[in-house]
Amino acid sequence: MWDAEVDVIVAGGGGCGLVAALAAAEKGLEVAIFEKTEFLLGNTAASAGMIPAAGTRFQRELGIVETPEEMAEDILKKNHYESDPDLTLAVCKASAPLVEWIHDSLSIEMSLVEEFKYPGQRNYRMHAPPSRSGLELMKKLRKNVADRDNIFLMMKSQVTELILGDNQKVIGVVTESDGNTQRIKAKKVILATNGFGGDKQMVQRYIPEISEAIYFGYEANTGDGIKMGLQAGAAAENMTAYQGHSAVNEGSGLLVTWGTIMMGGFMVNVSGNRFENETMGYSEFAVEVLKQPEKCGFLIFDQAIYDSLLSIEDFKNLSETTAFKKADTMEELGERLRIDPASLAETFGCFQRNENGQQDEFKRNSFEKKLETPYYGVKVVPALFHTQGGLKINENAQVLDEQGRIIENLYAGGGAAVGVSGRHAYGYMSGNGLLAALGFGKIAGEHAAKTITDEQGVAK
């Protein structure tokens, strides 16, 4: 009846899955990771690899003292208190041990990011590998997985179904690999298959406001874990939450940093008019761009902003293409961008009269500088990065049903589970993605391992 048996099955080989597997394997259990694609990348590899954590020794070394409660308060403030406060606090409490474990036990160098503070974070709390890259993080997690002989890694293997036993307990999964179907028995199953950004129908159903935007995440993230969980009787929560971005250069697929705005630039539509407060945040601004004619926008900034952003890799790469248009006057820039030149010049005239600290008609009050010739412009389109709603979980990352009862033996983390970003695009605070992925991944792996060990102890 069964093709194989292990202690723990992990569905999905992204950040959440690898951390969950390592946490469980460290306790001596046999773990199998099933990854749908031929790569161990996921959205985690596309991220900046920055993990927010409160109370780490890296912070203390720099004289920063903060509590998980303070970190949770920042996250809740950003999402307008829409995420579950207990769940939010639980993952914040797990954050410092997570970062120190990655550094000490997995030998992945972590340091505090002191270059800048993300909006809404009262302290420096982002921790990242030296390159500040998710790809480096994934490569090193992969090496840790390869070094362990109690983790079995199955590539191009999709988990397609949860197998239920008596009392709706999860007892294993069905996998598909090259047309070969297998039934794998396990004591615990951890769903780490991320969200549903890659499933257009699900995006249309749950987050219609962003369904017209391009999807900028891993194509294989088609909500599989959420669908399997729902079939097994789980509840889903905050399915409308997501992280968007307002500035992808369509031709190249490269991201134009929102630094263009934060350093003093603005955005217009194809008619040359501004349409909203650009500083509201690039995630929630994406919907405003989608409402504009031709569903696009044009970032306008100047030489000084351009020069200082060249240190960002994507921006530099973009500067080597024809995407950025440069001109000495706004009329000329309008022509080069193929937008109404007279209207752009008029918009610019109004924009330049704004004073830093004073609200304009769109309630924007930060105007870092007066733009100076030569000017730059670039056409951008909005994108969906990743979804943040998913299966309802408790503080142990155990999946719950509509009545709040535990579905025995089933865990979820990362984009497959409800995160800590509330119910709207504005609720996403930088770092929430990896916090929910690696934080709940570790919580799930450790809890699954402890429960199995305890159960075995009782059985002896």
Ligand X SMILES: Cc1cc2nc3c(=O)[nH]c(=O)nc-3n(C[C@H](O)[C@H](O)[C@H](O)COP(=O)(O)OP(=O)(O)OC[C@H]3O[C@@H](n4cnc5c(N)ncnc54)[C@H](O)[C@@H]3O)c2cc1C
User: Residues interacting with ligand X, by CB under 6 A?
Assistant: 11-17, 34-37, 42-44, 46-48, 50, 158-159, 192-194, 216-218, 220-221, 224, 385-386, 414-415, 431, 433-434, 437
Q: Which is nearer to ligand X, 16 or 25 (CB)?
A: 16
C-alpha 255: how far from chain center = 15
Q: To the nearest whole angstrom, how small is the minimum distance from the Cβ of residue 297 to ligand X?
A: 19
For residue 373, the SS3 value is: coil
- CA-nearest of 448, 440, 376, 379 to 194 is 440
Could you please report the per-residue DSSP string of 152-176?
A: EEETT-EEEEEEE-GGG-EEEEEEE
Closer to ligand X at the Cβ: 35 or 332?
35
Shortest Å distance, C-beta 32 to ligand X: 11
Q: Which CB, 91 or 339, lies closer to ligand X? A: 91
DSSP 184: E
Contact indicator for 75, 381 with CB cutoff of 8 Å: no
Smaller CB distance to ligand X: residue 267 or 397? 397
- Closest C-alpha among 247, 262, 383, 382 to residue 324: 247
**Which lies closer to ligand X via its Cβ, residue 198 or residue 334?**
198
CB of 37 to ligand X, least distance (A): 4
Nearer to ligand X, 14 or 55 (CB): 14
In this structure, are residues 440 and 414 in contact, taking their beta carbons and an 8 Å threshold?
yes
Q: Provide the 8-state DSSP code for 383.
A: E
Structure tokens at 347: 């918009």
In whole angstroms, give the CA distance from residue 286 to residue 243.
9
Which residue's CB atom is positioned nearest to ligand X? 14
Q: Which helix (H) or strand (E) is 182 found in, with range?
A: strand 180-191
What's the CA gap between 213 and 406, in Å, rounded? 36
Query: Closest approach of Cβ 193 to ligand X, in Å?
Result: 4
| CB 372, min distance to ligand X, A | 31
Closer to ligand X by Cβ: residue 265 or 419: 419
Query: Least distance in Å: CB of 283 to ligand X?
Result: 11
Pairing of strands 254-255, 242-249: antiparallel
Task: Say how far apart CA 133 and CA 153 lie, in whole Å.
Answer: 23
Instruction: Report the alpha-carbon distance of residue 428 to residue 425 in Å, rounded.
Output: 6
Cβ 118 to ligand X, closest distance in Å? Answer: 9
Rank residues 246 and 277 by Cβ distance to ligand X and give the closer one: 246
What is the smallest separation between the CB atom of 131 and ligand X, expressed in angstroms?
13
